[in-house]
Amino acid sequence: MPGSMWRELETEPGTCPWSLGWDNRPGNRRKHEGPRTYRQEKPPRQFPTLLTHMCGKTRTGRFWLKRKTISKRMRAKLAEVKDQLKRRRHQPIPEQGRWLASVVRGHLAYYAVPGNTDAVAAFRTQATRHWYKALRRRSQRTRLSWTRMNRLATRWIPPARVTHPYPNVRFDARTRGRSPVR
């Protein structure tokens, strides 16, 4: 693809770009090489994505390509949310709640993949914490306690749960008969 961001990912014919990265699978480690080995003497390639991919295990011990939010991106987004909450501090609470709910919903729409629940829940918690601090700075005699803040968060901010299906469900092809084409 000329002129695309994937240009640097071109590899030798017959190789897969996913197989050129760090290999963390326990069966592929050697004692003298330490925890990580690299199959070629090249630096790891950067994929244009917002999630980092790593090797992991399922509960039954099978291999699983794990995806996790890149912490640098999450910190940057939380800093933007904090800045916007400072600007919106004196708006009515329902208006702030609607805005923050749309931000968290957008975050969930991309990042709520299987295996990334902890990072998504942390984003929701930190956004709630920033909202709490912004609301407490609205007056010198604040009456906002964490009890009331938890009610506001429950009312306005959607819960952190996986919104995307697991790959085995997502790519499950149903066919009629023996032909995979129908």
pLDDT higher than threshold 90 for residue 35? no
- Cβ(115)–Cβ(68) below 8 Å: yes
What's residue 167's pLDDT? 72
Q: Give the integer Cα–Cα distance in Å for 162 and 108.
A: 8
Return mean pLDDT, the chain: 78
User: Can you give the pLDDT at residue 20?
Assistant: 45
Largest Cα span, the chain:
72
Name the pairing type of β-strands 22-23 and 63-69: unpaired
- DSSP helix/strand/coil, 154: helix
When pLDDT is averaged across residues 124-152 and rounded to a whole number, the result is 94
Residue 13 three-state SS: coil
Reported confidence tier of residue 22, pLDDT bands at 50, 70, 90: very low
CA distance 156 to 96: 9
Confidence of residue 63 (pLDDT cuts 50, 70, 90): confident
Burial class of residue 142 in the structure, from the number of CB atoms within 10 Å of its CB (0-12 exposed, 13-18 middle, 19+ buried): exposed
Where residue 115 falls (left for φ over 0; alpha for ψ -120 to 50; beta otherwise) is: left
For residue 134, pLDDT over 60 is answered with: yes
Q: What is the pLDDT of residues 66-88, one digit of tens each?
A: 888 988 889 999 999 999 999 99
Whole-prediction pTM value?
0.67
pLDDT at 154: 96
Q: How many angstroms separate the CA atoms of 153 and 130, rounded?
A: 11
Confidence of residue 175 (pLDDT cuts 50, 70, 90): low
Distance CA 51, CA 110 (A): 9
Alpha-carbon Rg for the chain in angstroms: 22
- Cβ–Cβ under 8 Å, residues 127 and 81: yes
Identify the weakest region by mean pLDDT among 40-44, 123-127, 166-170.
Answer: 40-44
CA distance 41 to 29: 16
